[in-house]
Every structure is written in C-alpha cells, then in structure tokens.
Structure 1
Amino acid sequence: QNKLGRDAVFQPSIYVSTEMVLSIEALPWVASRILDIICALKGKIKKCLVLDLDNTLWGGVIGDDGIENIQIGHGLGIGKAFSEFQLWIKKLKERGVILAVCSKNTESVAKEPFVKHPDMILKLDDIAVFVANWENKADNICRIQQILNIGFDSMVFLDDNPFERNMVRANIPDIVVPELPEDPGEYLEYLYGLNLFETVSYSAADSERTRQYQVEARRVSERMSFANEDEFLASLEMVSDIQAFTPFNIPRVAQLSQRSNQFNLRTVRYTEGDIERMGKDPERYAPFTFTLADKFGDNGLICVVILEKDNRAKTLFIDTWFMSCRVLKRGMERFTLNVLVRYARENGFKKIIGEYIPTVKNKMVEDHYAQLGFVKLPEMEKNLYMLDVDSYIDKTCYILSK
C-alpha cells in the first residue's frame, strides 16, 4: 500500500462483488513478496553482500579526492544518499547478512574512511572480509567466497560501474549483480523493490555472524603455522555443549534448518512450530543441538541432529543432520557421531540409519555416511546407510563435551 497507494490497492467495486480486499493491480506485488518468503523458507536466501567502495559507499574516488573531499554525510545533497545507503547496509549486517568489500584500491587508502571519516556509518568491524587491490574483481570475489565457504548464489555484488558488473556476471553466473541506477539517490528504492534479503526468522546469534567470520580468518591464519593437522586441532581447545531443543535454541534451530544447504543430508526444512512439536515428543524423536567454542571464540549453535525412533526394530533413523559450514574440517562430524552412538547404546538401540537426499547444493556430503563407517543398504530408490552400534569404535576427535 505504501508503494502503490491506498486507492490502487483497495477498490470498492472489486470488494463488493468478490469480497476480495486487494485490487487486481495489487496482486502481482503481493504474490512477489509471498514468493520471497517461500523462497526463504526453502533456503533460497542471500547471505552475503559484497560492496564496491568509490561511488558506491561514498561519492568520489578516495585515492584521487582524499578523505576530506569524498561525499558522505547527513546534510543536504548527494552525501545524504550515501549515508542513508550505509545505514540500510548496517541494518542488514545486524540481521546477520555478511558484509564484504571488493574494491580496486590500495588497501590502506580504501580502509582510511572506515577509520577516520566522522560521517562513515559502516566501520571496519562491520566488514567480515576486506579485499582491496588492483586485481580482477571476479577473482577477488572468488577469494571472498572461499574464505566464507558459501555458495555464489548466496551472494550479492553491488558496484556503480557497469563494466565491473558485467565482468563479474560473465565470470560468476550464479552471483546476483543488481543494475544499480546512475543516481545514488535512487539506490535504496531500487534495492527495496528487489527485496533480496528476505528472511523468515531472526535470532540474537545473527548479530554475531560478522565477528565469527572475522575470528575464522584468524583461525585460517594460525593453521598455516602448523605442519600437522592433528596438532592444530588439538591446539584449538574445542568444547561443545550438547542440548535437546529448548525455548532458547528453537529459533536458531529453525533458522539453521532454513539456511543450511551445503552440509544438509536430507534438506528438510522446519519452522519453529515444527521444531517445538518434535521437542515435545520424546517417544518418537531424540533431538540434539551442538555448539562449538575454541580459544578464539564461540561459534554458537552450529549443528543439529534429529533422530526418529523405531523402538520395535531398535533402530534410530537420522531424520535431520545439518551443520554450519563455518566449522568444517574440525572433526565435528566425528564428535557428533560419537554422541549419537553413545545415546543409542544407553537406550538399547542396535542400528542407526542415515539417508542422503541429493540436491543441487549438498553434493559435498554425498559420501558423508560412507566416510563415517556406515554401510550402504541395497535400496534401489534411496541412498540409505546403516551403522551397527555394537561394533562401532569411537572416532578420534579433539572436541570435549562441556
């Protein structure tokens, strides 16, 4: 209604004859927003915003104009447009969208406004990955993607330069590159219309996401100083807190269910209501949530497993197993399986059955169960795997239970 106007959204003649509150003209707008929500529920969300700097975050070229002459600020004029634009980006970051910078610039010069300009709303602490050099932007975005370990289709790139936009589109087809208007004053209205960052849930952990990725960069840096992978993992001093579903973690579990695409064995999406219902049905379900912390910081809740019980057959079926890709290659999969087998033994279950349902995005876990020692069952139409609980030997990992 704000966009189209009340008279366009509501038409008395339509209401009188059909009792339909919305006009015919308004239906495409409403349908578009509903589709955005459905896509978010199905995990088709944008997780990362990659930003150019000159004439995108501020007016002017920092290397040529200097910090005193770039256009930004809440006074009248084009500087106000850039300030409003930064304020919107800051709100995205607080909702959990990862911010990255990809700029053709000398790094020290590119960072100067973030540190010294009094009207900058975005600060260096808001940026998870900062890449500023004179290399090809498509290559630099690939570097950002590798650090963040997310899909290109989860990324959005904003740049005022049509040449750079087309270069990135040509080399990275999956990334979203909006055709920004020439007038910076129109950036926000244009991006509001695209509604690229729709979400269906929000948790306090979202505001911590940038810090977690910054800490991960420190882990990657320290890893380079170890010749042995086991020594590095042992040095991290990792601890996991294992819990069932609680009123405090249900929103985060539902959000991970909707967001997790790559490390997700069955890619079944659950709402908060679904999670709450399973948590209240201990006769049928055994839910597990895992956090992970180390000497660098706390990653929060990063893994969820939901076991479905078949008491007569003494079998546990892994209805759901998904995990944040931030913690890959730290032994969390082995630690999780050790916990599941321990639960099975304590409760008299003899087998654990896992299923892999392939999607476009979860190919990275197609061998997950085989690598953990499960045996593939001879099912013609399903990728089912079985683990014998009695013969299982705990796997080596460097994570302690809290």
Structure 2
Amino acid sequence: MMKTFTQLKKNIGKKPQGLKTIKVALLGDTATQFLNVALKGSAVDHGFDLDIFEADFGQVSRQILDPTSEYYEFEADYTIIFESSHKLLSQYYKSYNSQLSFAENKINYVEELYETIQSRTKSKVIYCNFPGIDNQVFGNFANKVESSFVFQLNKLNYLLSAQVGINKSNFFIADLVSLQNKWGRNFMFSPNIYVNTEMVLSLDALPIVANHVMSIISSIQGKFKKCVILDLDNTTWGGIIGDDGLEKIQIGSLGIGKAFTEFQYWVKSLQKRGVIVAVCSKNDEYKAKEPFEKHPDMVLKLDDIAVFVANWDNKADNIRKIQSILNIGFDSMVFLDDNPFERNIVRENLPDVCVPELPEDPAEYLEYLYSLNLFETASFSENDAERTKQYQVEAQRAIALESFTNVEDFLKSMNMVSDVQAFNNFSKPRVSQLTQRSNQFNLRTIRYTEQEVENLMNSEDHHTISFTLEDKYGDNGLICVIVLEKKDQETLFIDTWLMSCRVLKRGMEDFTLNTIVDIAKKNGFKYVVGEYIPTSKNQMVADHYGRLGFDVQEDKWILKVDDYNSKEVFILTK
C-alpha cells in the first residue's frame, strides 16, 4: 500500500544506516520543496539515501546553461527536471505567432538542456512529461486544430518519447501523464494549493510521483524485479483444477473468466519483455499442467514457464527451489497468490520476496497490479525475449549434472563454445543491460548506459571484451562483460568484471582471466589489477580474485602477468 506524504516524511528521520547515497539534482519551474521531501522518503523504501540539490524554482535554464552554476558544482548522479503543464500553458498563451511549432520549439529546448548536461557531466536525466490540461478554447474540436494547446500538448508528449526518449540513452521519462490517467486530474492537482504556493502536485499525489521517479532510479541502479512466480488455482485461472476438473475452471471471454484471461495476457506480455515466469502450486504436477496443455482458452503455455513446481510441499521451500535453479536474488522475485495464508507463509520465511496483497475480487487483480509498477525497467533488448528459453535449458543442465559423478566429465560433455569480441554496435544494448541487471557476480557494480558503452568503445584508454557461451543444450547469449582500463605503461586495471550467474561453475571465470592476461601480454602490461567493492548483493565474489591467484595489497588485487600460467578450461573460442 502506498505511503502517505506524512509517512514518507517520517521515513527520512528513521532511515537505516548503510544505505547507498545517490546525488540528485531537482530542477523545476514550480515549487518543488515537498517533492524533495517525498523523494527522500520514498528513496528509503527503495534502499537509497538521496543527497538532493534543489534549485530555486524557475531556474531550470540558468542552472543547466550556466557552466558556473551551483548545479555543476554539485555533480549530480541524476538530474530530475520537473516542468509543469501550467507554466507550459502560460508560454503557449505568449506564443501566438508560433503556435503551430510550439511543441517542436519545446522539444528543441529539451534536447538543448539534455545535450548541455551530457557535454559537461555524467548525470542521467529524468524528465517529467506533461499531464493534460484542456483549456476548453476549442472543446472536443481541439484534437483537429493543430494550433490548439491540447493538440500541441499531445504532440509534445509524443515527441518526448518518439524523438528524445528513443534516441538519448541517458534520458528517461517519468510518465506523469499515465499517473493522471489512473488517479484523475482532481486527485493530482489542487487549484487552491497551486495559486497560493506555486505547487502543482497535491499532497496525495506526491508519494505516487516520488515512487514513480524512484522506480526509474532503482532500475538504473540494478534494483528491479526479474521474475514473477504464479500460484494457479484462483490466481491464474478461476476454480480448483483438482476439484472442478478441466472443463469447469474459469478462463475465457465470459464472466469472471475474462479477468483471468486478461491477467494471463499481462503475464505473457511480461514474459515477452524478458521477465521470468515460474509456477509454484500446491497440486499434483500432472494435474497442474493439464490446463496449459489441453484447455483451449489458456493464454499461457508450458513454453512460457521457465520453472514449473507443483507438489504438496511448503510454498516457501518451493520458492527456494525455484531460486536455486534460476540463481537470482529473492529480492528480484514477485509471488502472486490469492490465498492470504500462503502469502503470509512466504512473507515470514522469505522476507525479501515481494508478495502483493491481491484483492479478494479477481476482477480487480490487474488494476491493483498496474498501480504497483512492480516491473520498472531502464532498458530492453531483443535478447530479453529469449530469457525463458535460456532458463528452461538451464533447468535441463541442472538435471544432467546430477547424472555425472565427476564435474570435469560433465563440463567436457557440454561442448562449450564462447564468442569473444570487443564491444560493438550489436552488443552495446546487451552490454549496457547486463551492467544494470547484474548484482551478484559483479566485482565493482559499475552501471553503464548505452551512450557510456559507446564511449568505452571509442576510448583509447580502455579494452572492452564481451563473452557469449553456448553448449549442446542451447545458447546462453552474451553472459560476461569486461572493461579494462590502462592505468599506466605497466598496469591494466579491471574496471568492470561481471557475469551472469546462470553460467557459474563451468570454468567461465578461468576462461575470462586467460583472455584478460592474453590481452595484457600482447600490449606489454606487467600487472593486472582488480578491485572488489562490496555491496549488499555481491558477497559471492568477495574472494574471487584470491581464488584466481591474485595477491592482495591494501584494497587491490594484483596479478603478475609473467608469473601467470593459463588455466585449464573446457571452453573453445568460436
């Protein structure tokens, strides 16, 4: 349930120690003091401590265009630009001679702000789009009059996405339009408060907007949900398959069955976007799978499910089993179950798993889930659509491993091949995405946008390496990313080493180090230096460099290139 503004304010005073600090600049054309408070309070719930520079309102252009401004002294990680529809309307009224190009002029202004920020800082920009104001000058006919404010406002929001959002990798849109569509203009905006305080967001709306913005920051920081785990009876379909039988469960286009069908379409869309779908059901497995195989109205099929667990065991234990196969954090999982008892069992035993309090009426499932914005993402690539297949294949590998008494024999039998390349325009989206998604096997947890990846590709001071991995079971795709920085004539520093946990214990770590040392030798470096920066999630690689033979000196790990003997692996280079 969304916290109130007062509760968010209290959050700030009782925030726990050890939260990661993020520097945020908040620039607005109206009063943002209360939004500042809401952002700080919401950040605590997202696991961050915000250090916010808030400019006086109306200083957006000055702060960004003046290279000596306080904004640039602050060196923000994120820049939130909050420009209101009300100020936009005032600008529109003053531009009678250029109303046909009003939206284009505003877009040019936004692009100028963005390009200026990018040329002077590494800050990512979060820009709030413009909720609708219908000034009723043309009524409904406004949608057919290009010079009307309604037409220009709609065009502006479209261009923000289609022209700026798509083409600028460090530009993210906080979609206030969708929030107003859901909650209503009267909820979001209070005329009295605006006239007397220059605030355009109501106190009730502030927590929603703050959570929306913090969801974007969290996803860029690598904190987001990767997996949805479904109960079946009365969650994925209506009724109980074991009692009612295949013909009587409720799915389809009639009555309450429509709610479950539309729920399945939503899950299917998540799966196509790259969210892993798993099943955790108290059922006999053959009976639980029957609707997926035989019911004509089922939208979800077995091919959409990465891990299918149906038995009579404790659901918390079964979710642990799913986690062990997927090898992802519990905090990246969402568990959906209609039964309050089962929800509480999971909450008590696996507190990191997100367990929404589904409404009693299945007709309300989707609207409730929409409001939670559980699956925010900061990136998308075509490889995401293959994720379910990759995890299904991983389950096959896990079963195959159990039939071998010797791990070495198992690895030899896998016929593993890796394509090793410098970053390129084809791998750039996936490399960026991996840096944002990888938390466990990530030595320094540095995040890169696509623009920053491109900068590395063109840098003379860096070597970049991407690794794919395929075997007889299937193709894992791009699974390892290395960024090497030339520190001096003798030293090559491992700026980034991250890897998908799906390929652990197959010798990929040794294969990667062999490749790094080969590059060091070819370029005349004497030392390879690594660093481990601990986070709450990457403890699994705390002794990574020690296991690989590096010597520790203060807070760095050092490997002498001439003393290194290439490690035996069972991976061939493509």
Question: In the aligned structure 2, how far is the partner of 1:395 from the partner of 1:210?
Answer: 32
Instruction: Describe how 1:57-68 pairs up with structure 2 within 5 A.
Output: 57-68=236-247
1:49 aligns with 2:225: no
1:361 aligns with 2:537: yes
Question: In the aligned structure 2, how far is the partner of 1:241 from the partner of 1:15?
Answer: 58
Q: CA deviation at 1:7?
A: 4.3
SS of 1:305's equivalent in the other structure is: strand
1:40-93 Cα shifts (integer Å, max 9, x gaps): 111111111111000000110001101100011023x11000011011100111
Match of 1:157 among 335, 340, 356: 335
Question: In the aligned structure 2, how far is the partner of 1:310 from the partner of 1:370?
Answer: 21
Question: In the aligned structure 1, how far is the partner of 2:478 from the partner of 2:200?
Answer: 42
Q: CA deviation at 1:148?
A: 0.9
Question: In the aligned structure 1, how far is the partner of 2:434 from the partner of 2:500?
Answer: 8
Match of 1:36 among 208, 211, 215: 215
Q: Residue 270 of structure 2 aligns to which amino acid in structure 1?
A: L
Partner of residue 400, structure 1: 572
Q: Residue 475 of structure 2 aligns to which amino acid in structure 1?
A: D
Question: In the aligned structure 1, how far is the partner of 2:387 from the partner of 2:345?
Answer: 29
TM-score calculated relative to the size of structure 2: 0.67
1:201-242 Cα shifts (integer Å, max 9, x gaps): 011111111101111111112112222111111111111111
C-alpha distance 20-284 of structure 1, shift in aligned 2 (>3 A): farther
Partner of residue 304, structure 2: 126
Q: Residue 116 of structure 1 aligns to which amino acid in structure 2?
A: K
1:144-200 Cα shifts (integer Å, max 9, x gaps): 111111111111111111111111111111111111100001111111111111100
Gaps of 5+ in 2: 1-179
Q: CA deviation at 1:355?
A: 0.2
**Which structure is higher in RCO with an 8 Å CA cutoff and minimum separation 6?**
1
1:295 aligns with 2:472: yes
1:72 aligns with 2:244: no
Which structure's CA Rg is the greater one? 2
Q: CA deviation at 1:12?
A: 6.1
Q: Residue 540 of structure 2 aligns to which amino acid in structure 1?
A: M
TM-score calculated relative to the size of structure 1: 0.95
Match of 1:86 among 258, 264, 280: 264
Partner of residue 117, structure 1: 295
Question: In the aligned structure 2, how far is the partner of 1:10 from the partner of 1:20?
Answer: 9
Partner of residue 338, structure 1: 514
Instruction: Describe how 1:1-400 pairs up with structure 2 within 5 A.
Output: 1-10=180-189, 22=201, 25-75=204-254, 77-281=255-459, 283-312=460-489, 314-377=490-553, 379=554, 382=555, 384-400=556-572
Decide which structure has greater helix share: 2
SS of 2:229's equivalent in the other structure is: strand
Q: Residue 518 of structure 2 aligns to which amino acid in structure 1?
A: R
Q: Which moved more, 1:166-175 or 1:102-111?
A: 166-175
Question: In the aligned structure 2, how far is the partner of 1:121 from the partner of 1:358?
Answer: 43
Identity %: 67
Q: Residue 83 of structure 1 aligns to which amino acid in structure 2?
A: T
Q: Which moved more, 1:171-180 or 1:54-63?
A: 171-180
Q: Residue 484 of structure 2 aligns to which amino acid in structure 1?
A: L
Question: In the aligned structure 2, how far is the partner of 1:266 from the partner of 1:93?
Answer: 29
Q: CA deviation at 1:16?
A: 6.8
C-alpha distance 243-20 of structure 1, shift in aligned 2 (>3 A): farther
Q: Residue 309 of structure 2 aligns to which amino acid in structure 1?
A: V
C-alpha distance 16-322 of structure 1, shift in aligned 2 (>3 A): same
Q: CA deviation at 1:9?
A: 3.6
Question: In the aligned structure 2, how far is the partner of 1:271 from the partner of 1:164?
Answer: 39
| Aligned residues between the structures | 395
